[in-house]
Structure 1
Amino acid sequence: MAATAYEVGIDASAIEAVDMHVHVEIDNCGHVSLPPALNDASSKYFKAEERTPSLDRIAETYRGLNMAAVVFTVDARTKLKREPNSIEDIVEGAARNNDVLIPFGSVDPLTGADAIDRAKRLAGDYGVRGFKFHPSLQGFDPSDEQFYPLWEALQEIGLPAIFHTGQNGMGAGLPGGYGIKLAYSNPLLLDAVAADFPEFQIIMAHPSVPWQDEANSIATHKANVFIDLSGWSPKYFPESLVKMSNSVLQDKVLFGTDYPLITPQKWLSAFADLPLKDEVRPKILKANAVKLLGLEAGRKA
């Protein structure tokens, strides 16, 4: 059977926002991407109301809000000793909801050449529009040169990649944090990648606590590095992030929630209270993502 290839169907001029960070953690067969202990701990940490909505349910939510959403899972099969949920399912679901959903792929860097082959297949055959990595959950140092062939391949493919940075909700409160190491999510590790692959567009996910100043500096210094604001309520954003989002980083910062862990309604309610300039808000909510994802042309066949 031929692969279902995603094609963008989003009218960028008609939507109000683009959520750059939405997790799909269950597939059509009912397989959940995370082990039960991690799933339960993250639900408790974020006080999530609905942990594993279906992809069609996610589409309904964003369609009702007149928003688009980037959707993905994380392939951490080596570290978690658990198969990810199906990225092919995510692409198929995004294709039938292509007026609001944008699929990103994920590969496990610890699988070496197989990760490169799969990344090329997900982009070429399935039409994913980017990739998602979680160095702490996947258990790797992105600055280690053993992973450079993967970054080189992604640079050649020409799609952006989201990397988790900062504090981890995954494993929070568990003994040893479930073995998840925070240091792999230090944004400074991505500075080397951004420097050595200047055409590779890197999105540092989340306020990078406790390394927010480092993240601000990297995004300011490297034209190919961006920050998404997911994973935290805006009322808890570090002051330096708010200040720089209002000035030098206003074209580099992206709206993101971490749905279903944080709902867009709750995030936007808190975002409205931030002391941001009127001209900056629409950049963060939509314009910066539209440019980064190449949606400027509006609806695409």
Structure 2
Amino acid sequence: MGIIDFRFRPNTKETLDGIGNSPMFSGLCDLINFPTMAAQSMDDIVADLKSHEVVKAVITGRDCETTYGAQSNNQSVLDFVDQYPDMFIGFAGVDPHKGMNGLRDLCTAVEKKGLKGAAIDPYLAKIYSNDAKYYPFYAKCCELDIPIIITTGPATLVPGAVMDHVAPRYIDFVARDFPELKIIVSHGGYPWISEMINVAQRNENVYVDLSEYERSPLSEAYIQAANTMISDKVLYASAHPFVDFKTALKTYAELPFTIEVREKIMYNNAAKVLGLPAPQ
């Protein structure tokens, strides 16, 4: 069976340098001694993915120019997708503080440049996920019929970030107000594990990836829930290059999922979100 990786960024030299030198993540990178892998050419990266049965990988853009002065990397996402359209699926990063200009940029990225979704980082925008500034973007995603990734997690050593901005309880409001919007919560809403499980379970339109937190304290609840109450909601995501995708695949091979649930997590649930065919 093929695998869909819902959070992947190619480990080219430009990407690794960009992450390591960013005003948002330089402290985290120092803490974890990033990068832990060598830079590769795009041909080698794609060959590596294929050799491990990864058939599609979602690359998320990021735009936090207003709050952190970091230029949007949406163009690099477009470049990756243009080079390998059969492998990569691009999501456009959104800066909610850009208002109508940001909405126009999202429309152009989807309607004219072929990106397939949107991505937001509320802790980098320094507002809650249910802030009014996001609502025009959620409505536009519904109009364009595209999913949106909401990046969560503890925002370790990110200057000026407030962890509460990405608590799942606020995503619950968004799911209620936009029932047509497919929402993928990246990084599992950690550390609010039980809260995230319930938000995914109670809202038909909420999905979750557990990237980077599959073996964190109390993460056993994620696995229990994936095997029972949210088996149709969990998506495999490696968070490469913060986590080498080969390491992530090994982790998922070892986690105690049932065979049926493993197939859902590694391909079927993501295929449903992305409108891709079921495996033959």
**TM-score clears 0.5:** yes
Q: 1:42 aligns with which of 25, 28, 33?
A: 28
Considering Cα pairs closer than 8 Å and 6+ residues apart, tell me whether 1 or 2 has the greater RCO. Answer: 1
Aligned match for 2:227, one of 227, 246, 252: 246
Residues 22-37 of structure 1 correspond to what in structure 2 (within 5 A)? Answer: 22-23=8-9, 32=18, 35-36=21-22
Please give the per-residue CA displacement for 1:147-205, whole angstroms capped at 9, x wherever unaligned: 21121111111111111123224xx2xxxx41111111111111111100100100011
Counterpart in the other structure of 1:9: none
Mapped contact 1:91–1:103 kept (Cα < 8 A): yes
* CA distance in 1 between partners of 2:271 and 2:246 (Å): 21
| Distance in 2, Cα, partners of 1:57 & 1:135 | 33
More moved, 76-85 vs 263-272: 263-272
Aligned-partner Cα distance in 2 for 1:276–1:30: 32
Q: Secondary structure at the match of 1:194?
A: helix
1:116-144 Cα deviation digits (max 9, x unpaired): 11111111001111111111122222212
Q: Against the structure 1 CA distance between its residues 263 and 237, is the aligned structure 2 distance closer, same or farther, given a 3 Å change threshold?
A: farther
Residue type at the aligned position of 2:129:
P
Distance 1:133 1:56 in 2: 29
Residue pair 1:207, 1:237 contacting (<8 A) in 2 also = no
Instruction: Determine if the alignment matches structure 1 residue 98 to structure 2 residue 85.
Output: yes
Q: Are 1:267 and 2:248 an aligned pair?
A: yes
- Structure 1's 246 and 216: CA in aligned 2 closer, same or farther, altered over 3 A? same
The residue type paired with residue 69 of structure 1 is A
Whole-Å Cα distance in 1 between the matches of residues 215 and 116 of structure 2? Answer: 27
Distance 2:48 2:254 in 1: 23
Report the CA distance shift for 1:83/1:26 in structure 2 as closer, same or farther (over 3 A): farther
CA contact (8 A) 1:109 1:140 kept: no
1:183 to 2:168 alignment: no
Distance 2:32 2:218 in 1: 15
TM-score using structure 1 length: 0.83
Aligned pair count? 278
Return the offset for 1:56: 5.1
Alpha carbons of structure 1 residues 36 and 144: separation in structure 2 relative to 1, 3 Å: closer
Q: Which residue of 2 aligns with 1:82?
A: 70
2:12·2:39 contact (CA, 8 Å) conserved in 1? yes
Whether contact under 8 Å (1:187, 1:214) holds in the other structure is yes
1:162 aligned counterpart, secondary structure:
strand
Partners of 2:21 and 2:268 in 1: CA distance: 36
Q: Label 1:36 to 1:257 Cα distance change in 2 as closer, same or farther (>3 A).
A: same
Q: Provide the identity percentage.
A: 26
The whole-number CA distance in structure 2 between the counterparts of 1:29 and 1:135 is 22
Deviates more, 1:189-198 or 1:18-27: 18-27
- Secondary structure of the corresponding residue to residue 69 of structure 1: strand
> Among residues 123, 143, 151, which one is paired with 2:130 in the alignment?
143
Give, in whole Å, the separation in 2 of the partners of 1:134 and 1:26: 23
Question: Using the alignment, how far apart are the partners of 1:162 and 1:237 within structure 2?
Answer: 24
Q: CA deviation at 1:55?
A: 5.2
What per-residue deviation string (whole Å, max 9, x for no partner) do you get for residues 265-287 of structure 1?
21122222222211111110111
* Aligned equivalent of 2:236, options 252, 255, 279: 255
2:257 maps to: 276
Give yes or no for contact 2:96–2:133 (8 Å, CA) kept in 1.
Answer: no
Map 1:1-301 onto structure 2 (within 5 A): 16-23=2-9, 32=18, 35-36=21-22, 38-48=24-34, 49-50=36-37, 58-67=45-54, 68-85=56-73, 87-169=74-156, 172=157, 177-234=158-215, 238-296=219-277
CA distance in 2, matches of 1:62, 1:82: 29
Gaps of 5+ in 2: none
Deviations 1:253-272 (A, max 9, x none): 00001100001221122222
Amino acid at match of 2:196: A
Change (3 A) 1:66 1:138: same
Aligned equivalents of 2:130, 2:71: Cα separation in 1: 25
RMSD: 2.6
Q: CA deviation at 1:251?
A: 0.7
Distance in structure 2 (CA, Å) of the matches to 1:47 and 1:77: 25
8 Å CA contact 1:207, 1:228 repeated in 2: yes
